[in-house]
Structure 1
Amino acid sequence: MIHSQIRGQAPVGAIVFTRYPEPGKTKTRLIPALGARGAAWLQEKMTRHTVDQLRAWREKSGGWLQIRYVGGSARRVRTWLGEDLLVREQGPGDLGDRLLRAFQEGFAQGVDRLVVVGIDCPEIDEATIAQGLQSLEEADLVLGPATDGGYYLIGLRAVPVERFEPLCKGIDWGSDRVLGQTLARSQGLGLTVRQLSPLSDVDIPEELGVWDRARYQSQPLISVIIPVLNEAAEIAQTLERVLTGQNLEVIVVDGGSQDKTVEIVQGYARQGESSTPVRLLSSPPGRALQFNVGLQAAQGESVLLLHGDTRVPRGFDLVIRDLLRDEGVVAGAFELAVASRAWPLRWVEWGVRWRSRLLGFPYGDQGLFLSRQRLLQLGGIPDLPLMEDFELVRRLQHYGKIAIAPVAVVTSARRWDGLGVLRVTLLNQLIVLGYLLGISPKRLAQWYRRRRG
């Protein structure tokens, strides 16, 4: 059916190479930054973006479009990306084998000019596809160079297979030599070549900002507000992770620390004069009060409310901006990981994940983020000596969905180490129950602090 539709029309075609987003099997070089689930989430987002661009190209050109995948199944890929798509497994072998097979089968469908694209370059759009195919009117081969030494697009016109088969054999796939080796092979084969403009791809943590900038053309300022009180043991690691983000302001509000917390933060504030600004403010102690002092000084479009002993993942800023762009999302939070190998804490993490995703009810140690304007409209952080995060989330639930990011913050295990997992869990649940029964937060705070020693 496909063959008869395009035969005799000098058709053009495009193939997208992707992988089904299974955690742990995709974007593996991003796992140290985003975790397995976060890397799979980004793979899904980037594939959808690329496929949407190709759909737009197909609508305008009437061209032939196919998705070739690794992992999953045809049914799962269609469910994921759309029933309107032609899908096919890439098949066995290295990338060269799979590219060769894709071109052979595409040409067998009657396509005269064909490009294959990956999903790693968020700057690719329908105009790029059209330009690549147009270049094939005069050239045998078109390449879209990636800035890491590979290419994001390769296109051929229907030449005899023996002329392009050597292009796909013996290349050092995954290295920065791919583009150079391909160009050398094409010269030896006597193929005429055109190159498109270089684009950046997203393969390693340092490249995560490429997605944010290219996909949305802007990076709204995020204000990270961190209340601290005697956090000298943790605050440096917290700030180091925060400062991996882009277009941020960091506001640390000290509640009267008696250790070296202020001295440590001042060191980062001086460094921030030429990069991300770090400001140190002071207030009386009390997490809600300190958050609100920071909020009054904040200038970002959105705010991240972060505890002083909690480390964000690399790419956290990308995740925040992406989730808050969803019109149905009023706020968000991260999943929680605890900095300990103790197996009982894996149950704590599981319980937090269940509560957050099923009930839409994250707590403050997960790093809450939302629009600054929304938070100001709510009157800021509820002025409570305890349960301020719980009450904030309750209020937010009246306005829309609270999204849970597919990546985790890592928080200190000190409270569980000091009191034990069972005691901390029981204590937390009793506090929540007491609050829901109407016991005053002041009384609960006094009781809580006595029980914690």
Structure 2
Amino acid sequence: MTLSVIIPTLNEEQALGQTLADLPSSHTLEIIIVDGGSTDRTLAIANTFCAHTPMAQLVRAPTGRARQMNEGAKASRGDILLFLHADTQVVEGAPRIIESALANPAVVGGRFDVRFATRSGWGSIIGALMNWRSRTSGIATGDQAIFVRRHIFERLGGFADIPLMEDIEFSRRLKRAGSTVALRQTVTTSFRRWEQQGPL
């Protein structure tokens, strides 16, 4: 199986470098960075990374996370698609963990547990609640690094072109397409959006 990691970006110069550095080096790992019109150093960081990483490419797309992720999926070649926020770092061994989860042909996709990179007690509480809700309902957010079999993603028509909560809307459709897994391994993501904007 080939895994394609699709990373939508928009002015992510502060976070993107670390996210890319934490990705495992593998000849079966494709990395697609999809930029939605960054005006900071995001493009320079992405271009430098792609120049030194054989299976990485930078794609331009209209602004909007759903549009960017859909364009990234179109540009990718992997059997499995992992949608990763630019400020989220994957757990060590993520490709192997995902491949193992999908060894069961009934499983169409899934997500990881999430941990927020903050000392705030609210971060721990929100992360625990998100993981609990996802485990009991099958609903996932983009912070949890959603992954899906390519043919299922294409059959579902990708992410809905809506301005907010495209991840939750997609995960609802995904769980109706087959079994999904809620992995206990954690990805680590920034708490900045919650601190600046709240839940939305």
Same-fold call, TM > 0.5? yes
* 1:262 match: 43
1:294 corresponds to which letter in structure 2? G
Separation of aligned partners in 2, 1:418 and 1:238: 21
Deviation at 1:323, TM superposition (A): 0.6
Between the two proteins, the alignment pairs up a number of residues equal to 200
1:117-146 superposed Cα distances (whole Å, 9 cap, x missing partner): xxxxxxxxxxxxxxxxxxxxxxxxxxxxxx
Separation of aligned partners in 2, 1:245 and 1:317: 9
* 1:180 match: none
Contact 2:34 2:72 (8 Å CA) reproduced? yes
Deviation at 1:361, TM superposition (A): 1.2
Contact 2:3 2:79 (8 Å CA) reproduced? yes
Change (3 A) 1:416 1:335: same
* 2:74 match: 296
TM-score, length basis structure 1? 0.43
1:225-278 superposed Cα distances (whole Å, 9 cap, x missing partner): 1010000000011111123455110000000100000000111111113xxx11
2:53 corresponds to which letter in structure 1? G
1:332 corresponds to which letter in structure 2? G
Structure holding more strand per residue: 2
Choose 1 or 2 for highest CA Rg.
Answer: 1
Separation of aligned partners in 1, 2:114 and 2:152: 24
Q: What RMSD, in angstroms, separates the aligned Cα atoms of the two structures?
A: 1.3
1:339-385 superposed Cα distances (whole Å, 9 cap, x missing partner): 01111211111101110111111111110001011101111221212
Structure holding more helix per residue: 1
* 1:365 match: 143
Q: Secondary structure in 1 aligned to 2:171?
A: helix
Contact 1:228 1:308 (8 Å CA) reproduced? yes
Separation of aligned partners in 1, 2:139 and 2:173: 11
* 1:377 match: 155
Contact 2:11 2:41 (8 Å CA) reproduced? yes
Deviation at 1:418, TM superposition (A): 2.3
Unaligned runs of 5+ in 1: 1-219, 429-453
Separation of aligned partners in 2, 1:337 and 1:415: 14
Separation of aligned partners in 1, 2:53 and 2:159: 27
Contact 1:245 1:316 (8 Å CA) reproduced? no
Matches within 5 A, 1:385-424: 385-419=163-197, 424=198
Q: Secondary structure in 2 aligned to 1:225?
A: strand
Change (3 A) 1:268 1:243: farther
Unaligned runs of 5+ in 2: none
* 2:125 match: 347
Separation of aligned partners in 1, 2:190 and 2:122: 15
Which protein has greater RCO, CA pairs closer than 8 Å, 6+ apart? 2
* 2:58 match: 280
TM-score, length basis structure 2? 0.95
* 1:33 match: none
Separation of aligned partners in 2, 1:408 and 1:253: 24
